[in-house]
Amino acid sequence: MPGKARNLALLAVAQVLVLAVWFAGTAVLPALLAEGAADAARGGLLTVAVQLGFVAGTLVSALLTLADRVPARRLFCLSALVAGLATMAMAAVPPAGIAALSLRFLAGAAIAGVYPIGMKLASGWARGDLGLMIGLLVGALTIGSASPHLLPALLPGLSWRALYLGAGAAALAGAALILIFREGPAAAAPRPPFRLGHALHAWRDRRLRLANAGYLGHMWELYAMWAWVPLFPHGQALGLPAGFAAFAVIGLMGCAGAVAAGLVADRWDRALVCAGAMLASGACAVLIGPASLVSVPLTLGPALLPALGWRWGFAVLGIGPLLGAWAMLRLRALQRASFSAQS
């Protein structure tokens, strides 16, 4: 299809650039701790604030039906500008105070107009390969989210202010790049306005309820893992700076997994692919702690770790994807039963 590869590449690169702001607060934490500018608890709130902002932004966007009221490229661009400017402003405020938490919340809310809208823009070019389209965008998400960890590894001594400025500037570049993107021939038609009854229907419909449960179970682990892995000093065992190791785990491996799963999902049972991926992910969460016993001593961590230790701290994350896999398998059974009844 003429222009498909070019436009998808533009979209993916734009999303990589903008999503650099998502975990910038996590990437600066080692520098903040080293300088005594924040303790682990206050630094952890930077990650919590951006996630709460994303949830709030998603809810507001749905209630106001912004994805249907504002042209998708314009919404992506404006959201990227807000996320970038809010992140750059972090360099001018105390690193873990109320202003910093507010700016992180604002950046998270703005990301709600980037990542989901990117999915919508990608689907416009889908033609029997929607799984691959989603896989490419999720892959771009992982690389973008991991990129702030790479900067300190490439540029030792980089200050936390410079990292915020770099991530924010990347988001502004992504905002400019999306303006070149052109929507595909299968661009989604406007949906009807949001009504509370639609949300109630999502709860009453068992299939939608299971699909949402699968997604929530996956998110239980994913965002916490992305926040914890950079603090998990496994890079020492590999002989690599922690930033390189974090980028490899979150970005490169995450991207490869997302694209591969998208390709398989287009050719096989999507619910089964999701369940298999979550079972593998949950098993890794359960096993990563015991596996660390053959590596290096572990110390630093969030609130659960003093009580549980790294050995079992990660295992808590396995609960989400394992329950999510159960939901996907139940959904698959319902889909197969419905198909059999219709035929």
Q: What is the pLDDT of residues 300-311, one digit of tens each?
A: 344 445 555 555
Predicted local confidence at residue 7, as pLDDT: 93
Predicted local confidence at residue 66, as pLDDT: 85
Other Cβ atoms closer than 10 A to 250: 23
Residue 244's pLDDT band, with cuts at 50, 70 and 90, is: confident
- Can you tell me the mean pLDDT for 189-196? 61
User: What value, to the nearest 5°, has the Cα angle with vertex 20 and ends 17 and 26?
Assistant: 175
Predicted local confidence at residue 144, as pLDDT: 87
User: What value, to the nearest 5°, has the Cα angle with vertex 39 and ends 162 and 44?
Assistant: 75
Q: Tell me what percent of the residues of the chain surpass a pLDDT of 90.
A: 25
Q: What letter does residue 127 receive in the DSSP assignment?
A: S
Distances (CA, A) of 305 to 12, 139, 204: 36, 29, 38
Structural fold of domain 1-182: Growth Hormone; Chain: A; (1.20.1250)
At 125 the three-state DSSP class reads coil
The residue ranges of every structural domain in the chain are: 1-182, 195-337
Q: Tell me what percent of the residues of the chain surpass a pLDDT of 70.
A: 73
Query: Which residues, at least 6 apart from 253, have a Cβ–Cβ distance to it below 8 Å?
Result: none
Most confidently modeled range among 129-143, 256-270, 311-325: 129-143
Predicted local confidence at residue 192, as pLDDT: 59
- The amino acid that residue 328 corresponds to is M
Residue 234's pLDDT band, with cuts at 50, 70 and 90, is: very low
> Does 36 score more than 50 pLDDT?
yes
What backbone torsions phi and psi does residue 237 show, to the nearest 5 degrees?
Answer: -70, -25
Q: What letter does residue 20 receive in the DSSP assignment?
A: G
> Does 48 score more than 80 pLDDT?
yes
Instruction: Say if residues 186 and 125 touch (Cβ distance below 8 Å).
Output: yes
Predicted local confidence at residue 194, as pLDDT: 60
- Can you tell me the mean pLDDT for 236-248? 63
Q: What pTM value is reported for the model?
A: 0.75
Predicted local confidence at residue 314, as pLDDT: 61
What backbone torsions phi and psi does residue 277 show, to the nearest 5 degrees?
Answer: -65, -40
Q: What letter does residue 188 receive in the DSSP assignment?
A: P
Predicted local confidence at residue 181, as pLDDT: 94
Predicted local confidence at residue 317, as pLDDT: 66
Helices (H), the chain: 4-18, 24-27, 29-35, 40-63, 66-69, 72-89, 98-111, 115-123, 130-154, 160-177, 196-204, 206-228, 235-238, 242-247, 253-267, 270-291, 305-313, 319-342
- The model's pLDDT over 115-166, given as tens digits with 9 standing for 90+, comes to 889 988 988 888 878 788 888 888 888 898 888 888 877 877 788 999 999 9
| Of 23-32, 88-97, 131-140, 254-263, the least confident | 254-263
- The amino acid that residue 343 corresponds to is S
Q: pLDDT higher for 34 or 195? A: 34
Residue 111's pLDDT band, with cuts at 50, 70 and 90, is: very high
